[in-house]
Structure 1
Amino acid sequence: MSWDSYISDQLLASGNVQKGAICGLDGSVWAVSDSWGIQAAEAQKLANAFKDPSVLHMGGIVVAGEKFMFLGGTDEVLRGKKQANGIHIVKTNTAMIIGYYADPIKHPQCATTVENLGDYLKSVNY
Protein backbone atom coordinates (compact mmCIF):
# COMPACT_ATOMS: atom_id res chain seq x y z
CA MET A 1 0.00 0.00 0.00
CA SER A 2 1.38 3.40 -0.92
CA TRP A 3 1.31 6.36 1.46
CA ASP A 4 -1.35 7.98 -0.75
CA SER A 5 -3.67 5.03 -0.22
CA TYR A 6 -3.35 5.41 3.57
CA ILE A 7 -4.77 8.92 3.09
CA SER A 8 -7.58 7.87 0.75
CA ASP A 9 -8.45 4.43 2.18
CA GLN A 10 -7.85 4.90 5.91
CA LEU A 11 -8.51 8.59 6.58
CA LEU A 12 -10.79 10.04 3.92
CA ALA A 13 -12.86 6.89 3.32
CA SER A 14 -13.82 6.86 7.00
CA GLY A 15 -15.90 10.01 6.53
CA ASN A 16 -14.35 11.37 9.74
CA VAL A 17 -11.48 13.20 8.06
CA GLN A 18 -11.96 15.64 5.16
CA LYS A 19 -8.24 16.20 4.45
CA GLY A 20 -5.19 14.27 5.51
CA ALA A 21 -1.44 14.08 5.27
CA ILE A 22 1.43 11.90 6.36
CA CYS A 23 4.74 13.67 6.91
CA GLY A 24 8.12 12.49 8.11
CA LEU A 25 9.44 13.78 11.43
CA ASP A 26 12.11 15.54 9.36
CA GLY A 27 9.42 17.73 7.76
CA SER A 28 9.23 15.83 4.47
CA VAL A 29 5.72 15.42 3.04
CA TRP A 30 5.09 11.75 2.21
CA ALA A 31 1.45 11.95 1.09
CA VAL A 32 -1.26 14.59 1.16
CA SER A 33 -4.89 14.99 0.10
CA ASP A 34 -5.53 16.60 -3.27
CA SER A 35 -5.43 20.40 -3.22
CA TRP A 36 -4.15 20.62 0.37
CA GLY A 37 -0.88 22.52 0.17
CA ILE A 38 1.03 21.42 3.25
CA GLN A 39 4.54 22.86 3.21
CA ALA A 40 7.67 21.12 4.50
CA ALA A 41 8.42 24.08 6.82
CA GLU A 42 4.98 23.70 8.43
CA ALA A 43 5.53 19.97 8.88
CA GLN A 44 8.97 20.58 10.42
CA LYS A 45 7.51 23.08 12.91
CA LEU A 46 4.84 20.55 13.91
CA ALA A 47 7.42 17.77 14.31
CA ASN A 48 9.47 20.03 16.59
CA ALA A 49 6.35 20.91 18.59
CA PHE A 50 6.04 17.34 19.83
CA LYS A 51 9.21 18.03 21.84
CA ASP A 52 8.34 21.63 22.76
CA PRO A 53 4.70 22.61 22.18
CA SER A 54 5.26 26.08 23.65
CA VAL A 55 6.03 27.37 20.14
CA LEU A 56 2.39 26.71 19.24
CA HIS A 57 0.91 28.67 22.16
CA MET A 58 1.59 32.03 20.50
CA GLY A 59 1.68 31.14 16.81
CA GLY A 60 -0.97 28.43 16.70
CA ILE A 61 -0.88 25.44 14.40
CA VAL A 62 -0.45 26.37 10.75
CA VAL A 63 -1.25 23.72 8.14
CA ALA A 64 -1.51 24.51 4.43
CA GLY A 65 -1.38 28.19 5.30
CA GLU A 66 -4.45 27.96 7.57
CA LYS A 67 -3.99 28.91 11.22
CA PHE A 68 -5.68 26.95 14.00
CA MET A 69 -5.77 27.87 17.67
CA PHE A 70 -3.56 25.43 19.59
CA LEU A 71 -5.78 23.58 22.06
CA GLY A 72 -3.11 21.41 23.60
CA GLY A 73 -1.07 18.34 23.14
CA THR A 74 1.34 15.77 24.40
CA ASP A 75 4.55 14.27 23.08
CA GLU A 76 2.38 12.19 20.72
CA VAL A 77 -0.72 14.29 19.92
CA LEU A 78 -1.34 17.93 18.91
CA ARG A 79 -4.83 19.47 18.60
CA GLY A 80 -6.04 22.69 17.01
CA LYS A 81 -9.35 24.36 16.24
CA LYS A 82 -10.71 27.14 14.04
CA GLN A 83 -14.41 27.82 14.59
CA ALA A 84 -16.23 24.50 13.93
CA ASN A 85 -13.23 22.98 12.11
CA GLY A 86 -10.06 21.50 13.49
CA ILE A 87 -6.88 19.56 13.14
CA HIS A 88 -5.64 16.43 14.92
CA ILE A 89 -2.01 15.36 14.59
CA VAL A 90 -0.54 12.08 15.82
CA LYS A 91 3.14 11.18 16.00
CA THR A 92 4.29 7.68 15.11
CA ASN A 93 7.82 6.26 15.31
CA THR A 94 9.00 7.96 12.09
CA ALA A 95 6.11 10.13 10.90
CA MET A 96 3.08 12.17 11.83
CA ILE A 97 -0.46 11.87 10.58
CA ILE A 98 -2.40 15.09 10.13
CA GLY A 99 -6.18 14.92 9.96
CA TYR A 100 -8.50 17.85 9.21
CA TYR A 101 -12.20 17.82 10.06
CA ALA A 102 -14.99 20.27 9.27
CA ASP A 103 -18.51 20.67 10.58
CA PRO A 104 -20.61 18.49 10.93
CA ILE A 105 -17.71 16.14 11.84
CA LYS A 106 -16.58 16.64 15.44
CA HIS A 107 -13.15 16.30 16.98
CA PRO A 108 -13.64 12.89 18.64
CA GLN A 109 -14.55 11.29 15.31
CA CYS A 110 -11.46 12.65 13.58
CA ALA A 111 -9.23 11.91 16.57
CA THR A 112 -10.31 8.26 16.71
CA THR A 113 -9.64 7.74 12.99
CA VAL A 114 -6.23 9.47 13.02
CA GLU A 115 -5.12 7.77 16.24
CA ASN A 116 -6.17 4.33 14.99
CA LEU A 117 -4.02 4.78 11.89
CA GLY A 118 -1.20 6.05 14.11
CA ASP A 119 -1.47 2.98 16.33
CA TYR A 120 -1.33 0.72 13.28
CA LEU A 121 1.74 2.47 11.85
CA LYS A 122 3.50 2.22 15.22
CA SER A 123 2.69 -1.50 15.36
CA VAL A 124 4.47 -2.02 12.02
CA ASN A 125 7.38 0.19 13.16
CA TYR A 126 6.64 3.35 11.17
Structure 2
Amino acid sequence: MSWDKYVSDQLLATGNVQKGAICGLDGSIWAVSEKWDVTAAEAKDLASAYKDPTILHQKGIVVAGEKYMFLSATDEVLRGKKQANGIHIVKTNMAMIIGYYADPVQPGQCATTVEALGDYLKSVNY
Protein backbone atom coordinates (compact mmCIF):
# COMPACT_ATOMS: atom_id res chain seq x y z
CA MET A 1 0.00 0.00 0.00
CA SER A 2 1.39 3.41 -0.92
CA TRP A 3 1.46 6.29 1.55
CA ASP A 4 -1.16 8.04 -0.60
CA LYS A 5 -3.54 5.15 0.10
CA TYR A 6 -3.10 5.64 3.85
CA VAL A 7 -4.19 9.26 3.45
CA SER A 8 -7.13 8.48 1.14
CA ASP A 9 -8.34 5.21 2.69
CA GLN A 10 -7.51 5.59 6.39
CA LEU A 11 -8.08 9.32 6.85
CA LEU A 12 -10.24 10.93 4.16
CA ALA A 13 -12.55 7.95 3.55
CA THR A 14 -13.73 8.07 7.18
CA GLY A 15 -15.33 11.50 6.71
CA ASN A 16 -13.67 12.60 9.96
CA VAL A 17 -10.69 14.17 8.17
CA GLN A 18 -11.13 16.51 5.19
CA LYS A 19 -7.41 16.84 4.36
CA GLY A 20 -4.47 14.75 5.43
CA ALA A 21 -0.74 14.32 5.10
CA ILE A 22 1.99 11.97 6.23
CA CYS A 23 5.43 13.50 6.63
CA GLY A 24 8.76 12.14 7.81
CA LEU A 25 10.20 13.53 11.03
CA ASP A 26 12.97 15.00 8.85
CA GLY A 27 10.40 17.18 7.07
CA SER A 28 10.04 15.01 3.97
CA ILE A 29 6.52 14.79 2.51
CA TRP A 30 5.44 11.16 2.09
CA ALA A 31 1.83 11.74 1.02
CA VAL A 32 -0.59 14.66 1.01
CA SER A 33 -4.20 15.32 -0.01
CA GLU A 34 -4.76 16.89 -3.40
CA LYS A 35 -4.56 20.68 -3.47
CA TRP A 36 -3.24 20.87 0.10
CA ASP A 37 0.20 22.40 -0.11
CA VAL A 38 1.93 21.18 3.03
CA THR A 39 5.60 22.15 2.74
CA ALA A 40 8.73 20.38 3.92
CA ALA A 41 9.69 23.47 5.96
CA GLU A 42 6.34 23.38 7.79
CA ALA A 43 6.73 19.65 8.45
CA LYS A 44 10.24 20.18 9.79
CA ASP A 45 8.99 22.95 12.11
CA LEU A 46 6.22 20.68 13.39
CA ALA A 47 8.64 17.82 14.02
CA SER A 48 10.92 20.10 16.05
CA ALA A 49 7.90 21.35 18.03
CA TYR A 50 7.54 17.89 19.60
CA LYS A 51 10.86 18.51 21.36
CA ASP A 52 10.04 22.11 22.32
CA PRO A 53 6.46 23.31 21.71
CA THR A 54 7.08 26.79 23.18
CA ILE A 55 7.62 28.23 19.68
CA LEU A 56 4.01 27.26 18.87
CA HIS A 57 2.75 29.50 21.68
CA GLN A 58 4.16 32.49 19.82
CA LYS A 59 3.91 31.45 16.18
CA GLY A 60 0.91 29.11 16.13
CA ILE A 61 0.76 25.97 14.01
CA VAL A 62 1.25 26.60 10.30
CA VAL A 63 0.16 23.94 7.81
CA ALA A 64 -0.23 24.53 4.07
CA GLY A 65 0.28 28.24 4.63
CA GLU A 66 -2.68 28.38 7.05
CA LYS A 67 -2.09 29.51 10.64
CA TYR A 68 -3.93 27.76 13.48
CA MET A 69 -4.06 28.87 17.10
CA PHE A 70 -1.96 26.47 19.16
CA LEU A 71 -4.15 24.58 21.64
CA SER A 72 -1.98 21.92 23.23
CA ALA A 73 0.92 19.53 22.83
CA THR A 74 2.13 16.27 24.28
CA ASP A 75 5.21 14.31 23.26
CA GLU A 76 3.08 12.66 20.54
CA VAL A 77 0.18 15.05 19.69
CA LEU A 78 -0.10 18.67 18.53
CA ARG A 79 -3.49 20.41 18.31
CA GLY A 80 -4.50 23.65 16.64
CA LYS A 81 -7.74 25.47 15.82
CA LYS A 82 -8.96 28.21 13.51
CA GLN A 83 -12.61 29.15 14.07
CA ALA A 84 -14.64 25.91 13.68
CA ASN A 85 -11.80 24.12 11.86
CA GLY A 86 -8.64 22.56 13.20
CA ILE A 87 -5.61 20.41 12.88
CA HIS A 88 -4.59 17.26 14.76
CA ILE A 89 -1.04 15.98 14.34
CA VAL A 90 0.26 12.65 15.68
CA LYS A 91 3.90 11.61 15.83
CA THR A 92 4.87 8.00 15.18
CA ASN A 93 8.33 6.41 15.31
CA MET A 94 9.35 7.81 11.90
CA ALA A 95 6.56 10.12 10.75
CA MET A 96 3.82 12.59 11.55
CA ILE A 97 0.21 12.22 10.47
CA ILE A 98 -1.53 15.55 9.93
CA GLY A 99 -5.32 15.62 9.90
CA TYR A 100 -7.46 18.66 9.09
CA TYR A 101 -11.12 18.83 10.06
CA ALA A 102 -13.80 21.36 9.20
CA ASP A 103 -17.24 22.03 10.65
CA PRO A 104 -19.43 19.97 11.20
CA VAL A 105 -16.72 17.41 12.05
CA GLN A 106 -15.83 17.65 15.73
CA PRO A 107 -12.23 17.73 16.99
CA GLY A 108 -12.62 14.39 18.76
CA GLN A 109 -13.72 12.65 15.58
CA CYS A 110 -10.62 13.81 13.73
CA ALA A 111 -8.40 12.99 16.72
CA THR A 112 -9.74 9.44 16.98
CA THR A 113 -9.14 8.78 13.27
CA VAL A 114 -5.65 10.31 13.13
CA GLU A 115 -4.55 8.63 16.37
CA ALA A 116 -5.85 5.23 15.22
CA LEU A 117 -3.65 5.44 12.11
CA GLY A 118 -0.78 6.64 14.29
CA ASP A 119 -1.20 3.66 16.63
CA TYR A 120 -1.21 1.30 13.65
CA LEU A 121 1.95 2.81 12.15
CA LYS A 122 3.71 2.63 15.53
CA SER A 123 2.70 -1.04 15.82
CA VAL A 124 4.48 -1.80 12.51
CA ASN A 125 7.50 0.34 13.46
CA TYR A 126 6.79 3.39 11.34
Q: Same-fold call, TM > 0.5?
A: yes
Q: RMSD of the TM alignment (CA)?
A: 0.2
Alpha-carbon displacement from aligned partner over 1:25-72 (angstroms, at most 9, x marks no partner): 000000000000000000000000000000100000000000000001
2: CA distance, partners of 1:55 / 1:47: 12
TM-score, reference length from structure 1: 1.00
1:19 is aligned to 19
Shift of 1:11: 0.0
Shift of 1:104: 0.2
1: CA distance, partners of 2:90 / 2:123: 14
Query: Any idea what SS the aligned residue of 2:67 has?
Result: strand
1: CA distance, partners of 2:2 / 2:85: 28
Alpha-carbon displacement from aligned partner over 1:61-101 (angstroms, at most 9, x marks no partner): 00000000000111100000000000000000000000000
1: CA distance, partners of 2:79 / 2:16: 15
Q: Which runs of 4+ in 1 moved over 3 A?
A: none
Structure 2 unmatched runs, 5+: none
Query: Any idea what SS the aligned residue of 1:27 has?
Result: coil
1:5 aligns to 2:9 (yes or no): no
TM-score, reference length from structure 2: 1.00
Percent pairwise identity: 79
Shift of 1:15: 0.3
